[in-house]
Structure 1
Amino acid sequence: MDVDDGLRSKEAAERGGPAARRLDLAMAIALTLGTAFWGDLLASGPRRPDYAASVITSIALMMPLAIRRTHPILMTGLMTVAGLVQVVFVSSPTWSLIAIPAASYSVARFVAGHESRIVVGAGALGSVIGPLRWMSDEPLAQQGEGLLSLTAPFSALCFAWVVIPYLLGRRDRETAITREEREQSARQRYESELVRREQQTRMAEARIRNEIARELHDVVAHSLSVIIVQADGGKALARKQPEAATRVLDTISDTGREALSEMRRIVGVLRVDPESSSPDDYRPNPGLPDIATMVARAGDRVTLSITGAEPAVSATVGLTAYRVVQEALTNFLKHAGPQARARVTIIYEPTVIHIEVMDDGGIPAGSTPDAADDWPLVPDLGPGYGLRGMHERVAAMGGKLVARPTRTGGWLVRATLPLQAGKPSPRHHGPGGNQTP
């Protein structure tokens, strides 16, 4: 709804309301009773021969004010006819002329555009004819030309009697338009702010859902992969080395408990109570110190090599490093085969962490070895979320990640993470190998 529509709606409410109509009718009746029966300004009453004409024309001038809001143009026409009749049959001004400024203001206030100027034209005509008639007892046809100079000041006063209320009405109308424009702008700003906040809320919800889905994927996929591998190995050891099978069962039990604990922590974020003081709600995320334990639980086919002193990093950098190793080992356990071996290498430097997970297993379906050795394209691994999640995590920390088959038939995951999380780096190639901005 634009400003003009809003203003017209308000004016329709002001004009057509029952209270407004009753007020206008009461005002017209009161003014008629107070003015029409005086006959003229001298209050000479019935002794004047034109008293009846004065009363009738005064009623005709005052009563149209009852429709000043609902039909201002019709009011102007009725009052113009009544005024011309009064000029012809009444020789002096009457009290009913106070209806003219009220009519002029009403037309200026409630009529839009050039149509409102009709009241100025009618007032200008009356301002000339009226004084000429009142200042001469002769009929209009017998009045001399010299009378015009005598009536000019009186005509100017009568014209001001029309123009000043008209200007006041136009001012009030412009004020109402300006106020409506401000209110409309405020409504639009408020609606735009609501839309912006709703979009931000949806984006935040989508981001949180993605983060939770990524966390659940990392936890469940890795833990189940470890449990399955350990269970398969435990079946063979149960017959030959029962004590070794017991250790395998312990590993499976510990891995299951840890996965369950992490899932409780992640799900607890969805139902957290701000006033809750339960320590389970604030269990810390895994980080660099937990990588060795995770590698050990993956089995004796995985070895770990750490170079340099473990630095103090933020929780987000530590969690990213942990998840990269976790996802790489998950893919190793799922795809590399029972005879493959993997090596996890972590190098701590003053400003970055280098992580490399390489195995000598088979190449996942749909992948081809890449002859390049430095940050090659990432092959298409299908609809899975593992590699995509690793790329998103590393990019969010301002680091780099490559995941590709090796020329010897294994698989390589290499990540470089800055110790201080920086701005997300542009991902020139997503997990599907498609260029993205």
Structure 2
Amino acid sequence: MHRLNGRPRTHPTTVDAAWAGLLLVIGLLHASQFVGPLLAWRAASTVLLAALLVVRRRAPGPAAVGGVLLGASQVVLDVAAGPAGAGYLVLAYTAAAYGPVWASRLALAGGALAGPLAVWRFDPGGPTDGRLRAAVLSGVLATPFILCWAWGRLTRVRRAYLTELEDRAARLERERDAQAKVAVAAERARIARELHDMVAHNVSVMIVQADGAAYVLDNSPQQAKEALGTIASTGRQALVEMRRLLGVLRTSDTTEEYAPQPGIEELPDLLERARAAGLTVDYTVSGHPREVSLGVGLTAYRIVQEALTNIRKHGGPDVHARVAVDFGGRELAVLVEDDGRGSTEKQLATGGLGHGLIGMRERVGMVSGDLDIGPRPGGGFRVRATLPLKAAGAPV
């Protein structure tokens, strides 16, 4: 059924030819009732009208001119239109819907004159007939042409409106993609600055340990060995962060001041600030808490920070949030959820393309983690991130 409905749009000429063939058969059957020159004329006019119907969409202007000339010839030769005359209505519609302006005006003028000319030529009336009868009959005969022309104009306006809607939708989609790219670029630039701090910190630690090892190398070889071990471990971590840094696109206007970046140990302070702002938050820590890499700690902190911001914006009144951090054997699980009423609709309305959610995905991807964002089964919203405690590419 869908293919049948779509065929008139994809194969208009084929459909027009089918209708023209049906009109041709009806017109020739009607013409067969006559003899002599009248038979030849009716047959020829029916064939010409059917041919105009076949090409009416590809050449609406010439089809309108041909229809007007063919109708005028019938009036001049005093040949009344038969059943095939319904094709003139189709030509009037086509000129208004698909033809140029002049063809549309020509079809309107021809349709408006069709009634008076038909009454004048084929129904002259008698001396008892008044002008009122002729006027009414002329209006009745011209009305179908005018209605078909008006239908064609409505089709043209509707088609132009749909085209405008499609262009606007395409433009909005391009703008949305551009905004998403800008958000990703800005977020990656910020991540690049933060990774710079991490690498600088690790290199500073290596320099201090190297200086200490050189100082105690002769007097305390064991301390020197421990310092060298610390240098090796810190160097491996710095190398991983540097490799990750090279994969981040960075803008040229990164002139902001560098500052130490927060980690998991700053989460209690973050939650206290959220509570001071009026948000009820529970915080739990499970597993075996231990020191994590700067990249993982910063990612966890930013995820909780952004999730709490979204809860305050979209969670509605009296919302209750819960933050849970679980130190596993090889992974750090961060969970932020709430029981808000408006969070799901508002946060999912953008299809997950908000700048905050883009930042979460970028950060989690940078440390080779997993992120799950969506509504809770019992209502509200949930953000769950799983971050590896061993950085990708580091030795186990």
TM-score (normalizing by structure 1): 0.49
2:81 to 93, 98, 101: 93
Which residue is equivalent to 1:125? 113
CA contact (8 A) 1:73 1:107 kept: yes
Unaligned runs of 5+ in 2: 1-6, 246-261, 274-290, 295-396
CA contact (8 A) 2:213 2:225 kept: no
Query: What RMSD in Å do the two structures reach over aligned CA positions?
Result: 3.9
Deviations 1:98-130 (A, max 9, x none): 111111111111125454121011222322212
Work out whether 1:60 is the aligned partner of 2:17.
no
1:104 to 92, 113, 116: 92
Deviation at 1:148, TM superposition (A): 5.1
Which residue is equivalent to 1:392? none
Q: Which moved more, 1:211-220 or 1:182-191?
A: 182-191
Deviations 1:165-198 (A, max 9, x none): 1111111222222222222222222221111111
Report the residue type matching 2:120 in the other structure: L
Q: Which moved more, 1:113-122 or 1:95-104?
A: 113-122
Deviations 1:224-276 (A, max 9, x none): 321342244336xx3xxx3xx33651552364256247548857988xxxxxx
The structure-2 alpha-carbon separation of the partners of 1:66 and 1:147, relative to structure 1 and needing over 3 Å to count, comes to farther
CA contact (8 A) 1:57 1:85 kept: no
The structure-2 alpha-carbon separation of the partners of 1:22 and 1:14, relative to structure 1 and needing over 3 Å to count, comes to closer
CA contact (8 A) 1:53 1:86 kept: no
CA contact (8 A) 1:14 1:20 kept: yes
Deviation at 1:31, TM superposition (A): 0.6
1:230 to 212, 224, 242: 212
The structure-2 alpha-carbon separation of the partners of 1:50 and 1:104, relative to structure 1 and needing over 3 Å to count, comes to same
Deviation at 1:83, TM superposition (A): 1.2
Work out whether 1:27 is the aligned partner of 2:2.
no
2:34 to 7, 22, 46: 46
CA contact (8 A) 1:53 1:90 kept: no
Matches within 5 A, 1:276-291: none
The structure-2 alpha-carbon separation of the partners of 1:48 and 1:121, relative to structure 1 and needing over 3 Å to count, comes to same
Which residue is equivalent to 2:61? 73
Which residue is equivalent to 1:354? none
CA contact (8 A) 1:226 1:255 kept: no
What is the alpha-carbon distance in structure 1 between the residues aligned to residue 158 and residue 81 of structure 2?
A: 34
The percentage of counterpart residues that share the same residue type is 17
Q: Secondary structure at the match of 2:34?
A: helix
Report the residue type matching 1:206 in the other structure: A
Deviation at 1:145, TM superposition (A): 12
What is the alpha-carbon distance in structure 2 between the residues aligned to residue 208 and residue 90 of structure 1?
A: 87
Which residue is equivalent to 1:183? 166
The structure-2 alpha-carbon separation of the partners of 1:314 and 1:86, relative to structure 1 and needing over 3 Å to count, comes to closer
The structure-2 alpha-carbon separation of the partners of 1:103 and 1:94, relative to structure 1 and needing over 3 Å to count, comes to same
1:199 to 182, 185, 210: 182
How many residues align structurally? 252
The structure-2 alpha-carbon separation of the partners of 1:193 and 1:91, relative to structure 1 and needing over 3 Å to count, comes to closer
Which residue is equivalent to 1:364? none
What is the alpha-carbon distance in structure 2 between the residues aligned to residue 92 and residue 144 of structure 1?
A: 22
Unaligned runs of 5+ in 1: 1-12, 138-142, 271-283, 289-311, 323-437
Work out whether 1:259 is the aligned partner of 2:234.
yes
Report the residue type matching 2:26 in the other structure: G
Which residue is equivalent to 2:221? 246
Which residue is equivalent to 2:153? 170
The structure-2 alpha-carbon separation of the partners of 1:190 and 1:286, relative to structure 1 and needing over 3 Å to count, comes to closer
